[in-house]
Amino acid sequence: MQSTGSRSAIPEPLTPRVRRFKSLRVIAALILRELESSESRTSLGFLWAFIEPIATIALMSIVFGIISRTPPIGTNFPIFYLTGIVPFGIYSSLARKSASSLKFSKSLLNFPSVKPIDAIMARFLLNLFIEIVVFVCLAAIIIYFWDLNPTIKPALVIEALALAAALGLGMGCFNAVIFLLLPTYENFWSIISRPLMLASGILIPIDSLPEPYRSYLWWNPIAHPVEMMRAAFYAEVAPVHASSLYVGLIALTLFCIGMIMLHRHVRDAMEI
């Protein structure tokens, strides 16, 4: 008779170890994938993030410099257009990149660890970082090259950037599933978004327009970050019409609706 002590003890089954910060790990991996993707290495890659605003500001400065000797605010055309183009560009770029994130990472969403919101946040965070670096570099170059001495209000700069980014994220989440369910909607959205640049006070400040157009244009949420950014660089501009609460509520509403659509329809959209 064998003693019980001589029997080999049967090991207890191991409890699966829960990985901490799993979502952050997935987002970091998706960001690295974005950096190493072929899309980042072609078409001038991330260099285009610098070329596009520089070309836009230069073209506007030349064209409107021929028409008028001074911009509507201040005396320097590049800094005037930079303060308008940057908030609008951050919103536009983040909304476009966030909305196309599901299509870009479609093959990875079949893995249980990768959630749709992870793909959206990865693209959002990466492109937000790029846009902020571009803004800081362009502002420093313009201020140094033209020997400007603006009294910059950092709090207003951060607020304008945060509101523009929040709008971009909210609109990106809202459009993410729709772009997959209705491919033609993406072209339609691109068309109706083009007039927003004229309606956001980038070329002409909204306060300089006559009524009732001025009151109508302040319902455009993108005009508020533009107004804040101008007030951050120009002492004579007071952001009396800009409302962080109004922009924040719109961004939050779009984000919540987008999350509901992601929860209910993302799997159906991925099968199309």
Concatenated DSSP letters of 149-165:
-----HHHHHHHHHHHH
- Helices within the chain (DSSP H only): 22-36, 38-41, 48-67, 77-99, 101-104, 116-145, 154-181, 183-193, 213-217, 223-233, 244-270
Per-residue model confidence (pLDDT) at position 46: 64
The letter for the amino acid at 165 is: A
What does the pLDDT profile of the chain (272 residues) look like in tens digits? 454 444 555 555 545 454 555 678 888 888 888 777 745 544 556 677 778 788 888 888 888 778 877 889 988 999 999 999 999 999 999 999 999 888 888 778 777 788 889 999 999 999 999 899 989 999 999 999 999 998 899 999 999 999 999 999 999 999 988 888 888 888 888 888 888 888 999 988 998 899 898 999 999 999 999 999 999 999 999 999 999 999 999 999 999 999 998 888 776 666 65
| pTM of structure | 0.86
What distance in Å separates the CA atoms of residue 254 and residue 260, rounded to the nearest whole number? 10
b/e burial code for range 79-105 (CB count within 10 A of at least 16 → b): bbbbbbbbbbbbbbbbbbbbbbbbebb
Q: According to the model, what pLDDT value does residue 16 have?
A: 47
CB 91 within 8 A of CB 164: yes
